[in-house]
Structure 1
Amino acid sequence: MVSPPKAQSHWFVLYTKPRSEKKLAEQLLDDGIQTYCPSQVEIKQWSDRKKKVETPLLPSMILVNIKDGERDRVFNRKHAVRYLYWLGKPARVTSEEVESLRSMIEDSQFESRGLQKLKPGEKLDMTALGFEHIQGTVKFVNAQECWIVLENLGYVVKFRKS
């Protein structure tokens, strides 16, 4: 008799309550669920001081690597809201896209492209940055940051120089 195939885990995008990304990611890790909360360091300025603050790259979202049949486990935590859906199914992110996102953040590949060379309205092929079949449009750019609209996902990603 042939044993049934093992269920394979996939990366999914999980919406979180506002400002709960890191907390939920840590809680899910404690539950044995692999998570990734991409973040970047920004310099925030108050009236009396400046401080480096780690902020999520995808606000109110984290990536979870979980089997299809176990997706409901994340809702045992109060900060989990719902999964991102695409064409009526939970949106899956490939492992290659997750690894490319990690390397892009760690290696600062985006900064090497030169923010000053980008212009609003310019179309970018995001496959060079590790996003498969995703095109982006530059929405805003200055010397310190760039906002890119990921058209297939309908989401804006903000990159800042640290």
Structure 2
Amino acid sequence: MNRTKNWYVICTRPRWELKIYKALVEQGIEAYCPTYTSVRQWSDRKKKISKPYFNSYVFVRLEEAERERVFAIPGVVRYVFWQGKAAKVQESEIQLLKEYLDGEALEDSRIEQLAVGEEVRFTRGALKDRTALVEKIGSHKVRLVLPVLGYRITARMADLVP
């Protein structure tokens, strides 16, 4: 019998990602829900909150025969399917996500070194050594255009060099 564990993507109810992630871990299911910290401003205070990078998605690692276990957790809607089967995510892709999204804290950056229209190169992560054009500069992030791939992305300053 095949006892190989694969990574799958489950869809969740909106804004239930972190609750479901916690419940999966409590059930002994290996799960991954990458998050970032956002500061929310209310009229009387500011608060740091964790938000998922992927809205309504959580990654789980299970054997094929165990896949139904996730439906015991309230808020799990379904698996993501590709060509009629539950979509499997390669271990290498999960590792790239972990490397890039859960990487080191932001390094000191000098925003004034970058200018709109300037070409930059990624120094690490899944896009290492690719070049992009600066479209917009924020306080810790930069919106980039990758002309070769035809994508527009947002990157952390620490991952780029001019």
Flag whether TM exceeds 0.5 (same fold).
Answer: yes
CA apart distance, 1:62: 0.5
The equivalent residue for 1:135 is none
Q: 1:86 to 1:108 in 2, by over 3 A?
A: farther
Q: How does 1:1-162 map to 2 (within 5 A)?
A: 4=1, 6-108=2-104, 129-130=125-126, 141-144=136-139, 145=141
What's the TM-score, normalizing by structure 1?
0.66
The runs of 5 or more residues in structure 2 that have no matched partner are 128-132, 145-151, 158-162
User: Helix, strand or coil for the counterpart of 1:59?
Assistant: coil
Give 4+ residue runs of structure 1 displaced > 3 Å after superposition. Answer: 108-112, 114-119, 128-131, 144-148, 156-161
2:106/2:156 contact within 8 Å kept: no
Q: Is the 8 A contact 1:16 1:80 kept in 2?
A: yes
Aligned pair count reads 140
SS in 1 for 2:102: helix
Scaled by the length of structure 2, what TM-score is found?
0.66
Q: Which runs of 5+ in 1 are unaligned?
A: 120-124, 132-137, 149-155
Question: Whose radius of gyration is greater, 1 or 2?
Answer: 2
Preserved CA contact (<8 Å) 1:42 1:160: no
Identity %: 30
> d(CA) in 1 for partners of 2:44 and 2:156?
22
Relative to its length, the structure with more helix (as a share) is 1
